[in-house]
A and B are shown apart, each in its own frame.
Chain A
Amino acid sequence: MSITQLPSPAVAAVVAQGLTKRFGTTEALRGVDFEIERGKVLGLLGPNGAGKTTAVRILCTLLKPDAGRAFIDGIDVLADPRRARARIGLTGQFAAVEERLTGFENLQHVGRLFHLRTSEARRRARELLEQFDLVDAADRVARTYSGGMRRRLDIAMSLIGRPSVLFLDEPTTGLDPRSRLGMWDVIDELGRAGTTTLLTTQYLDEADRLADQIVVIDQGTAIARGTADELKRRVGGDLVDVVLADPADGRRAVELLTPRACGQGKVVLGTTTVTVPVDGFAGVVPAVVRDLDQAGIQVVDVGTRRSTLDDVFFALTGRPAQEADDEPSDDHPEAPTSAPETKVEAG
């Protein structure tokens, strides 16, 4: 993969060019490019081990790439890491709060290390406690905070120096569902306020909800990019799920229903479910049932839904997004491997 395109500093707050990193025999990144426009949220989406955190660590000056370049506000992070550090705020995978200090002290501490004046650090600390709904907990040591509170304090700490770019590495991993929704509101608000953000996540709904642009990354390579809608359109915007009575009918059902699939969409077979991408639902459900009925294939259930990024990920890689999931997903286990050639270029 060659890099010919130059960064466009006027718009791009973050530029990553051909990032490559190898750990021993593992290729964590194999030439990843992306840019983040000022004021936008980029979602770096991929399963565990895809290389998301490696990319964040390189951009945050914590890791040197084997090849490639990275810029924050036009500052080369490899050549001038300290100047780059003055522009970024990092919220890593663990809530990096000092448990023995109070919320206020944590904020003040990072503010001082950002070399704010003492009075400014205090003022910013109070402001952020307010913004992140931590005023009541301000004088309690962080050890007593809940997971969601720690995360909010963590993000507040990365904002104290008014960074030009915020990095959020899997900000909701390990949070309970309620805290997760709360965190989404926080990130949403930051995004609306125009904070340039790089968000990594393995949750497709999260990227869908929060990111302006998404880069899907898998095994160290960017395999697709675009807005959530653009990516969904790629598999067909609407889906019909047909649940078969007998899994043995699967292959035949796929053949029968393929003519019903729209555009470049593919009919996907799970253990008992056949998913058909369609262009609008009008008349589709009766038609599908009729097709199968005439062929003597028994149908248990038919449902319609909008496609999710899960469908996108599966269409791109031939694998579900979260293989590490404990509960077996009977959505698409043994689907046709249509993986890497579906690679699409920048949108």
Chain B
Amino acid sequence: MADQEEVFEKIREVLEDALGVDEDEVTPEATLIGDLGAESIDFLDIVFRLEKAFDIKIPRGELFPENLASADSGFVVDGKVTETGIAEMREKMPHADIDSFAKDPAVTNVQNLFTVDMICKFVGSKLDG
């Protein structure tokens, strides 16, 4: 099994380079958008750097699924992600904390699913094959 501490340290470096944040800002629970100021294009940069740092391949949409909660996804009613949408998220984002999200599934909370911890778990599972 991949050494979690080592994985976290490498991810911390990736995020420092990609987002220009300080080392102490990168904590497991930090959200990429809210806490670390990531914008959409940064996700592509992060994917490039993770592939290089860990020598892994990350197919499009695997780490950061696209359009899961957009207005035309069919998964959003009255600004909230539907039960079907949440089930879809569990499948597409197995490394994110969907249980916490499900308590208040407002569309505006979707971005909080993208945390440093989610990336660590994702990379860990890739390394473990």
- Are A and B bound to each other? no
Partner-B contacts on A (CB < 8 A): none
